[in-house]
Structure 1
Amino acid sequence: MIERMLQVPTIAELRRLVGEARRQGKRIGFVPTMGYLHDGHLSLVKKARETCDFVVMSIFVNPLQFGPNEDFDRYPRDLERDRELARSAGVDLLFTPSVEEMYPRQVLTTVSVAQVSEPLCGQSRPGHFDGVATVVLKLFQIVQPDAAFFGQKDAQQLAVISQMVEDLSVPVQIVPCPIVREPDGLAMSSRNVYLSPEERQQATVLYRSLKQADAWLKEGVPLDEIKQRMAEMITAEPLAEIDYVEVLTYPRLTPVDTASPGQQLIFALAVRFGRTRLIDNMLVTV
């Protein structure tokens, strides 16, 4: 019987332990993360425990998905804290590889998912989703889970991974999980720690603008006008600098001018407060 919770830094050790669990007939659930865990991550573990017998979590800050001017070096890390949170949430196996373990030599093979990776964050962070798709497929190959759990906050990432899994016939069930928010509505994110008190207070405008957008949609306000009103609402906060405010179809993320009954849309936004770039979204069915 495998003791809870084990932590391993190597691919070989992980494969051995997951293989042992699989031979015992256990269903394998996987929660990939970059660490600095919060309740959003832990909600994924909870969901995994509901349907799986053996839960693997990875903590790996993936350099392939960071651009040259992004925050790879200052991305928050606290492995001791993460280990205890993972243990208390019910993780069975914690995979904590080094960059050298994951990428021992220069990576010459990457995964690129067209169309769904191109708008929104794909436009402002070129190459980001190639890095995401590459590391997630590599992790799927390493863990070979039955199901993998992803938060809806990174809705474009979820769409990219789902498309990759479908196109490449990867034998894993992708399970979307709802956004977890602070009491004032701010979506939980490891990057929230960067916000000053004033930035943190003003950042609540993101969720307020999304809720208002949903209300405007129900009132029949045209989509272009909704986007304009959202932008005006956000920029009324003096520290907010908009990267994008968009309405697209979901999960294909194609442009849409007029909403059709039964259509699923995503209101998506990315806004900077100082040096911190926050994303948020809301899925709505017309």
Structure 2
Amino acid sequence: MGVYTNRESLSNALLPFRKGKKIGFIPTMGALHNGHLSLVKQALNENDCVVVSIFVNPTQFDNKKDLEKYPRNLDADVKFLSQLEGTLFVFAPEASNLYNGPVISKKYTFGNIEHEMEGKHRKGHFDGVGTVVNLLFRAVMPDQAYFGEKDFQQLQIIRKLVAIEKLPIRIVNCPIVREPNGLAMSSRNKRLTEQQFNDAVLINKTLSEVKEKFSALSIPALNKLVVERFLKNTSLKIEYFEIANERTLKTAKRKYKNSSYRAFIAVYAGEIRLIDNMALS
């Protein structure tokens, strides 16, 4: 397993795989966990080699403190990946090399899905995501790229990005991987206290209850149910809960036949922000 810190050395390493072979890619911000591992395992099974990027992208953070506190440990991440068998490359560039100029975001229009949910609460976030993923895609030029459904809105943004930039890359969505208590695996979980980690089980429990009652209750009634559940737990604070059309990501006020819906939630445990989602229909 090689570790590459600039685009040029990675490009040279990937040359033998450019003709007649498949390259898989998983972009990450490091602090790897078993959720990432599941993506890498699937990619290794479906490609001749796999690139895992480890890069904490400054342009997608609207909160400087969150950026500063985001966990970083490249050596631990490389060691974590070394347990896997297969041809694996780690791409851990400096921002100056990846951006090759000012570290600023390109402005994107993703068909308005960038203004829903996360877009309402994290100004400029999806411009930063689109910019860095485009740069990473062009550095790696994979055949297939793998994204987890925990960041479902981001997954849809990436699909739009590939179309906008006319990139010949297949986007593969992978199911959410959860902790034994049901909490969606996230690099941010490492910052939770034991009490916060245990309390955060409420997120998955509430989403599961919404799914169970989706056919019986109206959307306003389900919204009220979620608020009531979190009012009883003072250690967790909801930033938003929304039931949205799975295709358009627009907030749903009522249910329509032949439409698919998904519940989205963002919660603060202290200063740590956790997101999750669940298909409802």
Q: Which residue of 1 aligns with 2:119?
A: 122
Say which SS state the counterpart of residue 47 (structure 1) adopts: helix
Structure 2 CA distance, aligned partners of 1:280 and 1:11?
Answer: 33
What's the offset of the Cα at 1:126? 0.3
SS of 1:31 mapped into structure 2: strand
Match in the other structure for 1:176: 173
How many residue pairs align between the two structures? 279
1:14 and 2:18 correspond: no
**What are the superposed Cα offsets for residues 31-87 of structure 1, whole Å, 9 maximum, x if unpaired?**
000000000000000111121111111000000101144411110011111001122
TM-score scaled by length of structure 1:
0.93
Q: Is the 8 A contact 2:203 2:276 kept in 1?
A: yes
Q: Would you say the 8 A contact 1:159–1:252 is kept in 2? A: no
Superposition map of 1:141-220 within 5 A = 141-218=138-215, 220=216
Residue type of the alignment partner of 2:140: V
Residue pair 2:96, 2:103 contacting (<8 A) in 1 also: no
1:63 pairs with one of 49, 58, 63: 58
Shift of 1:108: 5.8
The reply to whether residue 27 of structure 1 matches residue 22 of structure 2 is yes
Q: Are the aligned partners of 1:235 and 1:242 in contact in 2 as well (CA < 8 Å)?
A: no
TM superposition score normalised by structure 2:
0.95
2: CA distance, partners of 1:88 / 1:251: 37
Structure 2 CA distance for aligned equivalents of residues 155 and 270 of structure 1 = 12
Whole-Å separation in 1 of the counterparts to 2:231 and 2:140: 43
Contact 1:65–1:128 (8 Å) recurs in 2: yes
Stretches of structure 2 lacking an aligned partner (at least 5 in a row): none
State the Cα distance separating 1:261 from its structure 2 match. Answer: 3.1
Residue identity matched to 2:159:
S
Q: CA deviation at 1:167?
A: 3.4
Structure 1 residue 179: Cα displacement: 0.4
Q: C-alpha displacement at 1:276, in angstroms? A: 0.4
Q: What SS does structure 2 have at the residue aligned with 1:44? A: helix
Alignment partner, residue 95 of structure 1 = 91
1:77 and 2:72 correspond: yes
What amino acid is the match of 1:71?
A: D
Aligned partners of 2:59 and 2:103 also within 8 Å:
no
Q: Secondary structure at the match of 2:113?
A: coil
SS of residue matched to 1:29: strand
Distance in 2 separating the partners of 1:47 and 1:114: 30
Runs of 5+ unmatched residues, structure 1: none
Task: Report if aligned partners of 1:149, 1:174 keep a CA contact under 8 Å in 2.
Answer: yes
1:253 pairs with 2:245: no
Q: CA deviation at 1:184?
A: 0.6
Partner Cα separation in structure 2 for residue 114 and residue 150 of structure 1? 20
**What letter corresponds to residue 283 of structure 1 in structure 2?**
A
Matched, 1:41 2:36: yes
CA-CA distance at 1:12 after TM superposition: 0.3
Q: Which runs of 4+ in 1 moved over 3 A?
A: none
Moved more, 30-39 or 14-23: 14-23
Superposition deviation, residue 166 in structure 1: 2.5
